[in-house]
């Protein structure tokens, strides 16, 4: 009953009875009719799927009719709501931080980063400004004096950069990371001198030479009492100065303090690169000889700064492309690298927060960030200027790079290219306009509908992204670079499908008012399927914990839903407005103008059933000969001024007609045009002929090609074998490429080529591959216990196995903080023991002749670490700061830590330990008689610093990450909570689990698609085929990336997820066309291609046209990873959708949803409905009363449209075909016009009655056993009429198909009978069971 109700309520002017799609594609056109045929035994099929389709189509028709009635309101409100949603784009935030994009949300790395930030704060640490020098000719040695002098000039220029911000001039010394010199307690004199001599930390190969001191400053000379000259690092010799001032300050053992730091003669005993320099010290080895130093020999083994104990730079850190002799000495190198260290934004803020100079500027961490970023940008610019001015004749190139440069590049890369997006959309608009335009019929053209569809899709994309911004989903590079083109690609496919169906309906006999609902009924189910499938798939894929991929999937899901709402609600309203334009005969794209009909031949569009070639699946082919006509004459009269024409039939016995024979054997109409030229062939102009030819080329190039050429070609068995073998080869190649694909994303890929940043990154990756990282130890660990101190030493020693960590020449790792701490205590212990042995220190105290280190050792030795008894002088006799096993005295561990960090600041700073909580400050002072030393709080954060090199590719980086992770995990199991931290883990650790998360996402997406397809189609086998082919598309695209050296990273991973949704667009339409067609598998394949080949092809081409602008990007990464991969995705998806899936369906495809009885190719045609009164404009459709009594009884049918066969014993049918042909010619000829009377003749001849036992049987109640063919020959007679009359010549031929059906016994007519409870009687006509109705409809 529900199905019958849906069929009756949805057919108030809907599908015409002569529509062949209703018979060959019943479930696509009208699932209710298909259900009725199955219920009446005339067909079999998937009744569950059909019932689901009936429900969906019923509501889609209602939506379409409602939209048609209020189309203007719907368009206005729809555009208004979408525009309001677009306002949300103002709140969009672009996220470019690596840790916020590619670190697993809630994962191990995320927890580790949060732990670091919680203890150190955001922006802590230091930043390195890099200066790289490379030869212009590869292989050239850079270990020359000329090369190093150029390197010196570049660094000198960089360190002289000044930035004016907040009214303050910020120099290099204001923001650099300095090497803290020892403090001398309350002696402000020496403390001020050392403060002026504090040097910025620069790691450079120039430290092997005296010229390295020129980089340390200070900016102005420092005056030291009792020294005869002003000093700078270029002439500073600490030993010599101590000898000069030692007599006056003998109470301070300054020399001992400096010796612990390795500060002796500084740079005064190092060779000069230019011995002729006036400032070259006399103590330089080559000062007297003036010989050029052997640079390779000097830099062999690395270089040291002014504090040799803490500032030793290994050769792998400062030299690249090293070549060594057999003895292991350096002979040549191809690159030089220097690192200028700056404070982090947090350290810079804390350093100046109490300074009086920044009190009036609102000093905060954001201010320090701005200063650092501005200085770094100026740094790279000044280095570039210096190189351009001094390197015109040099053989070397110098490049600079900073973290700000990388951030700027990432932000520039992530910014949406609005111009490219707009140009791409314009290309889509042009393509859609040209595809849907009809040059020969400007009224029936649909270019405006295509343009509106593209613009609506663009607006829905913007609206969806606006809502994403409002709900807090952040944008990233994948959002700005992929979604605009992806969403357009997915949306334009739906636009072309619905526009293609709309164009077909405009040529049918469906009333204009009903075309919107009918179009939505046919295409809405598939659009719902693809939209819900894709949105569900993207939503399921959002389970991936990587924030960038999760945000992308959520944005795609929301945008897909917005597009679905727009295409199902707003777009039908736009089509309804276009229908009004057609009714008013207005020109497409220029709706302000109406089509002007000139005097002469008139073109009147007719349905395609008039064509000489029937549509595929039609059994009614027209005969070549027609006989017998009934002649009618018409005369048109007008007023004297030529207005108000009126046409009437002439008298039947009129003799004022002359006949003319016309050869009707040749076709006169185009089978592919939506409009027919109704003038005779003799009167066609050249322009009209050219227009008709162009129309045939445009329309036949795809639709007829698919029906007559491509589809039959795929039906051939050899072709199927070749196609299957070809795609199996592609699948194997995809699997091979998947195995070969490499993970990673080089920084050189995201930097524009031929820029200084690209050249720097390329050289740095080739020669150095330098990175640093920290091994962080956490809380819940007793650092003071003897067992854990041994565990810490074992932990540090374990990193010895990592090959990529830079080590000394002997293969030993640099000391970490616990070793430096222990060595400092051992030195104190040694001085203390010496003073005790010399009796300068006793149990009760020390004498004045004891050393400062001995006195400090006394205060440390007597510490017990007990709160109730903190000092024990008895420990002077046998107490040890460090025992024989190298274990620091555990009870006083944190007391000793306070003394070390405060009195050996250089050792603590160079260890890069960064303790949290910060140790308490206690400066040793001889004048302080207090013995007790404050205890620091237990450590919750400490770190070990390491330097990595030779990490030039992702494979080596990920291998190193795994090796380091294994060490950390091993010691975590032993009770030492720890983890590694550094940029290589933040940026590259994603690749370790990227394939796992990608596979998880793909499986989730495919599973979601399978569930949605199965639920909507109620056909698991069809869902399996679709999902398998989609998986093949993913594998083929994956393999394509591997074969073409496209690395797997986050962007291709996202595109692979997107591929599932894009391929669904190509595959599901063909599958739907296959399922909804009738006949054999081969025939259903051809029908599916005939209907969907054109929209799928146009959708793919429009997507390619839209992304073509990406190939012009200055970023090679965009071309390689976006344009190439997206183009491959579209091409591979289209190939599988238009080539593979039709062949697969024709071989192992599921059964049709509707299978006619006796395996016929189409369903029996329905009986026609009685003619209905046409509704006036604005008149609403009357509702069909629904209730227990069902629908009201239908009114009696016009007897002229009913033919009743007198005998019911024959199971046969009569078919009459009359071809419609109308030619109207109007002319006026002065005062004596000639009126041409045209006869429209028709006759019925050649009627055969036969029993077709092969077709008609007891189970088949509808067959076409005979055909009636007729010809029409006009008879024309001319006569002279008054001048106020307009003459019209009309030639009309009409084809009416009349079938008489005889139902078998026991079969109930599919038209329902409604009985009254009070009056039960049967219509005598219906009781005979032999009544059939036929109707003829033609639009002129």
**pLDDT above 80 (res 317):** yes
The two tokens of residue 638 are: 């007008």
The predicted model gives 1160-1176 an average pLDDT of 66
Per-residue confidence (pLDDT) for residue 27, from 0 to 100: 85
Determine contact, residues 490/1062, Cβ cutoff 8 Å. Answer: yes
Residue 268 and residue 281 in contact, taking contact as beta carbons nearer than 8 Å = yes
Q: Is the pLDDT of residue 581 over 70?
A: yes
Residue 686 φ then ψ, to 5° = -65, -40
Q: Name residue, tokens 């000139």.
A: 598
Do 1169 and 54 contact (CB within 8 A), yes or no? no
What stretch of H or E contains 1277? strand 1276-1280
Using DSSP, state whether 1025 is helix, strand or coil: helix
β-bridge mates for residue 845, sequence order:
842
Looking at residue 1291, its pLDDT comes to 54
**CB 760 within 8 Å of CB 746:** no
State how far the Cα of 1079 lies from the Cα of 37, in Å rounded to an integer. 15
Q: Is residue 343's pLDDT more than 70?
A: yes
| Ranges 201-210, 583-592, 645-654, most confident | 201-210
Answer yes or no: is pLDDT of 424 > 60: yes
Q: At 27, is the secondary structure helix, strand, or coil?
A: helix
Largest separation between any pair of C-alpha atoms in the chain = 155
pLDDT at 1201 over 70: no
How large is the average pLDDT for residues 1250-1254? 37
Section 575-595 average pLDDT: 86
Cα–Cα separations (whole angstroms), residue 883 to 476, 859, 887, 889: 56, 17, 5, 7
Angle at 834 between CA 831 and CA 839, to 5 degrees: 125
- What's the confidence (pLDDT) of residue 1329? 36
In contact, 347 and 130? CB cutoff 8 Å: no
Q: Above pLDDT 70, what percent of the chain?
A: 74
**For residue range 1040-1096, what is the model confidence (pLDDT) as tens digits?**
998 888 888 877 888 888 888 888 888 998 999 999 999 899 999 999 998 889 888
pLDDT of 573 above 60: yes
Stretch 1236-1251: mean pLDDT = 36
Confidence category of residue 14, pLDDT binned at 50, 70, 90: low
Q: What local confidence, expressed as pLDDT, does residue 1245 receive?
A: 34
**DSSP code, position 1294:** -
Distance CA 960, CA 416 (A): 35
Range with lowest mean pLDDT among 74-83, 167-176, 595-604, 1319-1328: 1319-1328
Provide the phi-psi class of 57: left if phi over 0, else alpha when psi is between -120 and 50, else beta. Answer: alpha
pLDDT score for 223:
75
How distant, in Å, are the alpha carbons of 68, 69, 465, 512, 1173 from that of 1178?
11, 8, 38, 13, 14
What's the mean pLDDT in 788-803? 94
DSSP lists the bridge partners of residue 1116 as none
Q: Check residue 918 and give its pLDDT.
A: 92
Place of tokens 């009875």: 17
| Mean pLDDT score, 315-335 | 90
Q: Report in angstroms the alpha-carbon separations of 1034 from 167, 999, 1134.
A: 58, 11, 13
When pLDDT is averaged across residues 867-886 and rounded to a whole number, the result is 89
Q: pLDDT tens-digit profile of 78-118?
A: 999 999 999 998 888 887 776 777 777 778 888 898 899 99
Q: Which residues contact 658 (CB under 8 A, 6 or more apart)?
A: 1275, 1276, 1277, 1278
Tokens read off for 510: 């469906």
pLDDT for the residue numbered 651: 46
Residue pair 266/233 in contact (Cβ under 8 Å)? The answer is yes
Residue 272 has pLDDT above 90, yes or no: yes
Confidence of residue 271 (pLDDT cuts 50, 70, 90): very high
| 75: pLDDT strictly greater than 80 | yes
d(CA 394, CA 573): 70
**Would the pLDDT of 617 be above 70?**
no
Bridge partners, 1290 (sequence order): 1224
- Highest mean pLDDT (candidates 364-373, 736-745, 1199-1208, 1230-1239): 364-373
Averaging pLDDT over each range in 52-66, 177-191, 663-677, which range is the top one?
52-66
- pLDDT tier for residue 1173 given thresholds of 50, 70 and 90: low
Cα 1043 to Cα 600: distance, rounded to the nearest angstrom: 64
How far is 44 from 1156, CA to CA, in rounded Å?
A: 6
At 186, the pLDDT band (50, 70, 90 cuts) reads low
Q: Report the C-alpha gap between 1252 and 1244 in whole angstroms.
A: 21
Averaged over 319-340, what is the pLDDT? Answer: 91
**Residues ≥6 apart with Cβ < 8 Å to 758:** 748, 751, 752
The rounded distance, in Å, linking the Cα atoms of 353 and 43 is 86
Q: How confident is the model at residue 1022 (pLDDT cuts 50, 70, 90)?
A: very high
Ranges 185-189, 337-341, 1160-1164: which has the least confidence:
185-189
Predicted local distance difference test score (pLDDT) of residue 1005: 87
* CA-to-CA dists, residue 644 to 438, 604, 647, 1339, angstroms: 31, 20, 10, 22
Residues present in the chain in total: 1340
pLDDT for the residue numbered 690: 62
- For residues 997 and 548, the answer to whether their CB atoms sit within 8 Å is no
* Res 1153 pLDDT > 70: yes
Cα distance between residue 561 and residue 565, in whole Å: 6
Q: What is the DSSP letter of 1045?
A: T
Residue 1115, pLDDT above cutoff 90: no
**H/E run at residue 877:** helix 875-878
Strand partners, 1216: 1268
More confident residue, 220 or 308: 308
Which tens digits make up the pLDDT trace of 369-419?
A: 999 989 988 888 888 777 666 655 568 888 888 878 777 777 777 777 777
% the chain with pLDDT above 90: 24
What was the pLDDT predicted at 671? 38
Backbone torsions φ then ψ of 528, nearest 5 degrees: -60, -40
For residue 786, the number of C-alpha atoms closer than 13 Å in the C-beta half-sphere is: 9
Q: How far is CA 306 from CA 192, 206, 229, 233, 311, in A?
A: 19, 12, 20, 9, 7
Q: How far is CA 1241 from each of CA 612, 965, 1271, 1297, rounded to the nearest angstrom?
A: 19, 93, 8, 17
**Pick the residue with more confidence: 95 or 336?**
336
Least confident piece of the model among 99-108, 180-189, 487-496, 973-982: 180-189
**CA torsion angle for 5, 10, 13, 16 (degrees, to 10)?**
-90
pLDDT tens string 225-258:
666 667 888 888 887 777 766 544 544 456 777 7
- Better pLDDT: 124 or 1312: 124
Q: Given a cut of 90, is residue 774 above it in pLDDT?
A: yes
Whether the bond into 917 is cis, omega within 30 of 0 = yes
Closest CA to 5 of 1180, 1314, 1308: 1314
3-state secondary structure 49-78: HHHHHHHHHHHHHHHHHHHHHCHHHHHHHH
Q: Looking at residues 645-672, what average pLDDT do you find?
A: 43
* pLDDT for 731 beyond 70: yes
Instruction: Give residue 1274's pLDDT band: very low, low, confident or very high (50, 70, 90).
Output: very low
For 1139-1190, the DSSP string reads IIHHHHHHHHPPPPSEEEGGG-SSPPPPPPPPP-PPPPTTPPPPPPP-STT-
pLDDT at residue 1034 is higher than 60: yes
pLDDT band at 632 (very low <50, low <70, confident <90, very high): very low
In contact, 1139 and 723? CB cutoff 8 Å = yes
- Output 374 or 1292, whichever has higher pLDDT: 374
At residue 1257 the predicted structure's pLDDT band, cuts being 50, 70 and 90, is very low
pLDDT in tens, 440-468: 788 888 888 888 998 998 899 899 999 99
Cβ–Cβ < 8 Å for 871, 935? no
What is residue 792's predicted lDDT score, i.e. its pLDDT?
A: 95
Residue 915, pLDDT above cutoff 90 = yes
Q: Which residue has the tokens 């009208």?
A: 30
Tokens of 474: 């952040």
- For the segment 984-1012, the average pLDDT, to the nearest whole number, is 86
The residues facing 263 across adjacent strands are: 307
Tell me what pLDDT residue 1186 has: 39
Q: Would the pLDDT of 795 be above 90? A: yes
C-alpha 762/C-alpha 767 separation (Å) is 9
Distances (CA, A) of 213 to 133, 304, 337, 1217: 20, 12, 17, 106
Structure tokens at 976: 């030492």
Question: pLDDT category, 188, cuts 50, 70, 90?
Answer: low
Measured in whole angstroms, how far is the alpha carbon of residue 176 from the centre of its chain?
A: 40
What is the model's pLDDT at position 693? 62
Give backbone dihedrals phi and psi of 633, rounded to 5 degrees, phi first.
-120, 140
Percentage helix, strand, coil for the chain under 3-state DSSP, each rounded to 5: 50, 10, 40
Instruction: Give pLDDT, residue 583.
Output: 86
Banded pLDDT at 860 (limits 50, 70, 90)? very high
Q: Is pLDDT of 1205 > 80? A: no
Helix axes 483-506, 1081-1107, angle to 10 degrees: 130
Q: How confident is the prediction for the chain on average, in pLDDT?
A: 76
Which range, 873-877, 1027-1031, 1106-1110, 1214-1218, has the best average confidence (pLDDT)?
A: 1027-1031
> Omega into 218 within 30° of 0, i.e. cis?
yes
* Stretch among 321-335, 481-495, 972-986 having the lowest mean pLDDT: 481-495
DSSP, res 390: H
Q: How confident is the model at residue 423 (pLDDT cuts 50, 70, 90)?
A: confident
Packing angle, helices 418-436 and 1081-1107, rounded to 10: 140
pLDDT of residue 692: 59
CA atoms within 13 A on the CB side of 821: 28
């Amino acid at each position: 009953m529900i199905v019958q109700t849906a069929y009756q309520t949805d057919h108030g002017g809907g599908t015409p009875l002569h529509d062949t799609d209703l018979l060959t594609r019943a479930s696509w056109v009208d699932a209710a009719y298909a259900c009725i045929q199955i219920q009446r035994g005339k067909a079999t099929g998937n009744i569950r799927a059909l019932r689901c389709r009936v429900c969906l189509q019923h509501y889609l028709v209602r939506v379409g009719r409602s939209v048609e009635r209020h189309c203007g309101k719907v368009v206005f409100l729809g555009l208004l709501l979408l525009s309001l949603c677009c306002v949300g784009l103002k709140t969009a935030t672009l996220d470019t931080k690596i840790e916020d994009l590619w670190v697993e949300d809630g994962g191990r790395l995320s927890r580790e980063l949060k732990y670091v930030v919680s203890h150190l704060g955001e922006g802590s640490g230091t930043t390195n400004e890099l200066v790289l020098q490379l030869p212009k000719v590869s292989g050239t040695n850079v270990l020359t004096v000329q090369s190093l002098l150029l390197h010196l000039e570049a660094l000198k220029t960089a360190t002289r950069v000044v930035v004016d911000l907040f009214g303050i001039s910020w120099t290099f010394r204001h923001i650099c990371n300095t090497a803290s010199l020892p403090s001398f307690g309350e002696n402000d004199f020496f403390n001020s001198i050392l403060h002026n001599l504090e040097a910025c930390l620069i790691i450079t190969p120039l430290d092997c030479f005296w010229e390295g001191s020129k980089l340390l400053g200070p900016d102005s000379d420092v005056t030291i009492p009792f020294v005869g000259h002003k000093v700078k690092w270029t002439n500073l010799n600490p030993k010599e100065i101590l000898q000069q001032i030692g007599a006056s300050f003998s109470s301070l053992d300054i020399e001992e303090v400096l010796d612990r730091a390795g500060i002796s003669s500084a740079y005064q005993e190092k060779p000069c690169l230019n011995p002729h320099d006036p400032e070259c010290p006399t103590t330089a080895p080559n000062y007297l000889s003036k010989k050029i130093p052997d640079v390779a020999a000097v830099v062999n083994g690395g270089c040291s700064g002014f504090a040799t104990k803490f500032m030793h730079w290994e050769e792998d850190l400062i030299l690249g492309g090293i070549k060594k002799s057999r003895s292991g000495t350096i002979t040549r190198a191809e690159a030089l690298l220097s690192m200028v260290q700056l404070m982090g934004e947090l350290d810079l803020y804390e350093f100046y927060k109490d300074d009086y100079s920044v009190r009036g500027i609102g000093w905060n961490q954001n201010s320090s960030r701005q200063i650092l970023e501005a200085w770094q940008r100026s740094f790279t610019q000044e280095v570039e200027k210096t190189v351009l001015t001094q390197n015109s004749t040099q053989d070397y190139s110098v490049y600079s790079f900073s973290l700000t440069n990388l951030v700027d590049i990432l932000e520039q890369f992530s910014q949406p290219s609005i111009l490219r997006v707009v140009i791409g959309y314009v290309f889509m608009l042009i393509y859609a306009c040209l595809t849907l335009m009809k040059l020969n019929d400007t009224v029936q053209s649909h270019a405006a509908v295509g343009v509106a569809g593209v613009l609506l899709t663009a607006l829905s994309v913007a609206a969806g992204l606006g809502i994403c911004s409002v709900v807090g989903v952040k944008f990233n590079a994948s959002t700005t670079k992929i979604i605009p083109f992806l969403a357009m690609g997915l949306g334009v496919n739906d636009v072309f499908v619905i526009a293609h169906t709309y164009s077909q309906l405009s040529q049918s006999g469906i009333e204009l008012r009903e075309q919107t609902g009918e179009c939505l009924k046919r295409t809405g189910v598939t659009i719902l399927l693809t939209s819900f499938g894709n949105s569900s798939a993207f939503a399921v894929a959002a389970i991936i914990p990587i924030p960038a991929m999760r945000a992308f999937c959520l944005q795609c899901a929301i945008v897909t839903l917005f597009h679905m709402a727009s295409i199902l609600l707003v777009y039908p309203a736009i089509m309804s407005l276009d229908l009004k334009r057609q009714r008013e005969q207005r020109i497409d794209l220029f709706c302000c103008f109406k089509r002007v009909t000139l005097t002469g031949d008139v073109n009147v569009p007719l349905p395609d059933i008039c064509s000489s070639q029937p549509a595929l699946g039609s059994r009614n082919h027209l005969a070549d000969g027609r006989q017998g006509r009934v002649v009618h004459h018409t005369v048109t009269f007008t007023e004297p001024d030529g207005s108000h024409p009126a046409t009437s039939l002439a008298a039947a016995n009129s003799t004022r007609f002359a006949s003319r024979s016309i050869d009707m054997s040749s076709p006169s109409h185009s089978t592919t045009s939506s409009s027919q030229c109704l003038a005779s062939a003799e009167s066609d102009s050249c322009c009209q002929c050219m227009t008709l030819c162009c129309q045939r080329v445009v329309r036949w190039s795809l639709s007829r090609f698919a029906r007559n050429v491509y589809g039959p070609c795929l039906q051939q068995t050899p072709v199927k074998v070749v196609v299957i073998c070809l795609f199996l080869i592609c699948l194997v190649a995809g699997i091979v490429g998947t195995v070969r694909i490499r993970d990673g994303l080089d920084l050189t890929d995201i930097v524009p080529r031929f820029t200084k940043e690209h050249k720097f990154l390329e050289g740095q990756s080739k020669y150095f591959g330098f990175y640093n990282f920290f091994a962080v130890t956490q809380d819940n660990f007793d650092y003071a216990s003897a067992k854990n101190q041994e565990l810490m030493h074992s932990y540090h020693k374990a990193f010895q196995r990592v090959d990529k960590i830079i080590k000394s020449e002997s293969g030993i790792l640099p000391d970490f903080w616990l070793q430096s701490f222990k060595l400092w205590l051992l030195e104190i212990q040694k001085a203390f023991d010496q003073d005790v042995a010399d009796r300068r220190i006793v149990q009760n105290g020390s004498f004045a002749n004891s050393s400062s280190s001995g006195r400090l050792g006394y205060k440390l030795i007597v510490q017990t670490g007990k709160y109730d008894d903190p000092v024990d002088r008895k420990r002077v006799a046998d107490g040890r700061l460090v025992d024989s096993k190298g274990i620091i005295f555990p009870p006083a561990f944190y007391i000793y830590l306070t003394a070390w960090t405060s009195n050996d600041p250089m050792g603590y700073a160079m260890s890069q330990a960064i303790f949290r909580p910060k140790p308490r400050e206690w400066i040793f002072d001889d004048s302080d008689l207090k013995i007790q030393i404050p205890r620091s709080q237990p450590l919750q954060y400490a770190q070990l610093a390491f330097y990595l090199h030779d990490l030039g590719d992702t494979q080596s980086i990920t291998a190193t990450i795994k090796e380091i992770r294994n060490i950390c995990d091993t010691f975590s199991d032993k009770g030492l909570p720890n983890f590694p931290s550094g940029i290589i883990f933040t940026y590259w650790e994603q690749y370790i689990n990227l394939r796992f998360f990608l596979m998880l996402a793909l499986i989730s997406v495919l599973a979601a698609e399978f569930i949605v397809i199965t639920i909507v189609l109620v056909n698991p086998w069809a869902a399996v085929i679709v999902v398998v082919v989609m998986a093949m598309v993913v594998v083929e695209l994956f393999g394509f990336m591997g074969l073409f050296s496209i690395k797997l990273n986050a962007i291709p991973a996202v595109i692979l997820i997107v591929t599932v949704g894009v391929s669904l667009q190509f595959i599901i339409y063909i599958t739907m066309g296959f399922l909804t067609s009738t006949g054999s598998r081969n025939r259903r394949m051809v029908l599916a291609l005939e209907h969907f080949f054109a929209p799928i092809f146009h959708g793919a081409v429009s997507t390619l046209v839209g992304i073509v602008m990406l190939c012009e990007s200055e970023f090679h990464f965009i071309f390689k990873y976006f344009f190439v991969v997206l183009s491959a995705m579209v091409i591979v998806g289209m190939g599988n959708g238009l080539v593979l899936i039709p062949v697969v369906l024709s071989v192992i495809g599921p059964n049709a949803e509707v299978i006619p009885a006796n395996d016929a190719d189409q369903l029996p045609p329905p009986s026609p409905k009685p003619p209905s009164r046409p509704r006036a404009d604005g008149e609403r459709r009357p509702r069909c009363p629904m209730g227990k009594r069902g629908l009201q009884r239908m009114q009696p049918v016009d007897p002229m449209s009913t033919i009743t066969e007198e005998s019911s014993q024959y199971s046969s049918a009569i078919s009459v075909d009359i071809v419609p042909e109308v030619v109207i010619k109007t002319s006026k000829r002065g005062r004596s016009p000639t009126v041409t009377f045209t006869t429209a003749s028709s006759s019925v001849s050649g009627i055969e009655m036969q029993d077709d036992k092969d077709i008609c049987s007891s189970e088949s109640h509808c067959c076409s056993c005979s055909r009636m063919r007729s010809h029409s020959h006009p008879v024309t007679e001319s006569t002279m009429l008054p001048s106020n009359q307009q003459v019209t010549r009309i030639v009309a031929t009409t084809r009416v198909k009349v079938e008489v059906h005889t139902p078998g016994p026991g079969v109930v007519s599919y038209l329902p009978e409604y009985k009254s409870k009070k009056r039960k009687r049967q219509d005598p006509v219906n009781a005979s069971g032999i009544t059939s109705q036929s109707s003829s409809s033609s639009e002129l």
